[in-house]
Structure 1
Amino acid sequence: MKFDLHTHHFRCGHADDNIEDYIKAAIKAGLGVIGISDHSPFFASVEDRPNPGIAMAKSEFVHYIDEVQRLKAKYESKIDVLLGVESDFFPEHAAVYRDIYAQYPFDYIIGSVHQSRGVSIFNRNRWKGLSEAKKQDEKRHYYKLIGQSAQSGMFQVLGHIDAMKGYYPAFSAIQADDAIDEALRLIADSSASIEINTSGSTKDVGGWYPSDAILERACHYGVTVTFGSDAHKPSRVGEDWDRVAKRLKQIGYKQWVYYKNKQPVAVPL
């Protein structure tokens, strides 16, 4: 059975079309499960929508949840629609986010590090003029945040754990294996899975997140995995699912999971 836990829509300000369009695309692609997981609002901000091109407004959040719940019921005979959200992880604001999420019946929450030291992980300019030692420090800090996100217990899924390479492919060659291994150990000790996210194909780096090298290490540490296209347009729903499944089997995985009512559902590879 095919599933996709990572999709966006118009509310975040940088994706196309409505939630229902993604559900219809999932049915057309032969998926049995589709997760809706738009970007969380910036809950710690005093403004309703401080970043219109990045995330939905706080005032839209309840409407988002209501719409997913309505569509879940509408399509229950055709596909299992899951209520998710892609949450930013800011350690200093974790309690704020945790308290808000506790009010709603999420099937799963994706925890993603999108900012490190106050700068977007996709910002190419953050690497300009840095020494190799400083680049290593930046990479280690990024993986420290990912490890902290696992330890928080807030998330069922950790999103795109090497997405910093998206617009800076040289990121993968920066030596920080100790930091990656520590993050993977913390993830393995948590109840969270990492996603294989195929949206790298839309960035400079190509391919998917995380790299095969990291997936091999994740398998070694016993980290469970799930799938997300991170689709920002309906045509990408389920993209490369079969290719990813084949590669995971080659690496040594026997199954992957999706989440319903925050409980893992195993799907054999």
Structure 2
Amino acid sequence: MKFDLHTHHYRCGHAIGSIEDYIKQAIDYGMNYIGISDHSPYFYSDEDQLYPTIAMSKSEFPHYVSEVMALKEKYKDKIHVLLGVESDFFPEHMELYRDTYAQYPLDYIIGSVHYVKGVNIFQKGRWDGLTAKQRVEVKDEYYHLIQKSAKSNLFQILGHIDAMKGFYPDFSHIETDIIEKTLEIIGHEDVAIEINTSGKTKDCGGWYPSDDILERALFYKVPVTFGSDSHVPERLCDEFDLVRNKLKEIGYNEWVYFIQKQRYVTPL
């Protein structure tokens, strides 16, 4: 089975194409399921669209849901369209996000940590001038947030769990045992992680997470799923077969997808 649960479109302000463009491309690629999962609005903000080039406005979210549901029906004989969202994780606003999402028929929610100590993880230069100790502290804080997201019972999937390496490849070499503990917690909470192939578009190259993290994830029985994190329709299912083969090499024999927040297992 061929699926992709992590996609974006024009509403977030930094992706190209409409939702329908992605669905049509998915049909052309012979996909069975496509998940639409654009960036969540900043629901906690008094502004309707706090960062127009990062996420959709609050007022647009109901229209986003309505459009996906209409397209789900329109293309039901050709492909399964799933309604998702990639949600930022802000512990202090978690209940607001939980209450907001409860109003909509979401198939799944991807929980992604994009901010550490108030700074976007992809902000270039955020590591400049930090001591070795401070770098460890930032990495530890990143994974503490991921741990909290795993325990929140809000997300079916955790997004790109080492994406902080995106524009700082040395992130992977900052020595700390925090990743091991994080994977143990994710496994205990039984939350899926995605193999996200968009790392190839950043300085780090490769996927999120790295192979060594996936090997430890298997040890802790962490379920896995696939997401291209596509911001253009052509990247749908990018390197899907390569990811599947790598997972088999590591020792996985299945991965998962979600419908109405229920987990479904399919063999690799």
TM-score (norm 1): 0.99
The answer as to whether partners of 1:193 and 1:224 remain within 8 angstroms in 2 is yes
Decide whether the 8 Å contact of 1:153 with 1:191 is kept in 2: no
Partner of 2:202: 203
CA displacement at 1:131 relative to structure 2: 1.1
Match for 2:194: what amino acid? E
1:150 counterpart residue number: 150
Residues of 2 paired with 1:183 and 1:65: CA distance?
A: 32
AA in 1 matched with 2:66 = D
Quote how far apart the aligned CAs of 1:140 are.
0.7
AA of the residue aligned to 1:184: L
Matches within 5 A, 1:151-190: 151-176=151-176, 178-190=177-189
**Residue number in structure 1 paired with 2:42:** 42
For the residues of structure 2 that align with 1:259 and 1:159, how far apart are their CA atoms? 14
Match of residue 103 from structure 2: 103
How far residue 10 of structure 1 moved from its aligned partner, in angstroms, is 0.3
Match of 1:224 in 2: 223
* Contact preservation (8 Å) 2:146, 2:161: yes
Which whole-Å deviations, capped at 9, do the CAs of 1:190-244 have from their partners, x for residues lacking one? 1310000000111111111000010001011110000000000000000000000
Q: Secondary structure at the match of 1:245?
A: helix
Secondary structure of the residue aligned to 1:124 is coil
Report the CA distance between 1:123 and its aligned residue.
Answer: 1.3
SS in structure 2 opposite 1:56? coil
C-alpha distance in 2 between matches for 1:49 and 1:191: 33
Q: If the length of structure 2 is used for normalisation, what is the TM-score? A: 0.99
Instruction: Describe the SS at the equivalent of 2:50.
Output: coil
Give the unaligned 5+ runs of structure 2: none
The CA RMSD over aligned residues, in Å, is 0.6
Please state if 1:129 is matched with 2:129. Answer: yes
Aligned to 2:232: 233
**Superposition deviation, residue 125 in structure 1:** 1.3
CA distance, structure 2, for counterparts of residue 64 and residue 190 of structure 1: 30
**1:38-72 CA deviation, whole Å, 9 max, x = no partner?**
00000000000010000000000000000000000
Find the aligned partners of 1:235 and 1:55 in 2 and give their Cα distance: 21
Distance of 1:223 and 1:124 partners within structure 2: 31
State the Cα distance separating 1:29 from its structure 2 match. 1.2
Provide the aligned length of Structure 1 versus Structure 2: 268
Aligned to 1:76: 76
Equivalent residues of 2:190, 2:222 under 8 A apart: no
Percent identity (aligned): 62
**Paired position in structure 1 for 2:4:** 4
1:84-103 residue pairs with structure 2 within 5 A? 84-103=84-103
Partner Cα separation in structure 1 for residue 266 and residue 2 of structure 2: 9
Residue segments in structure 1 that go unaligned for 5+ positions in a row: none
Q: State the shift of 1:124 in Å.
A: 2.3
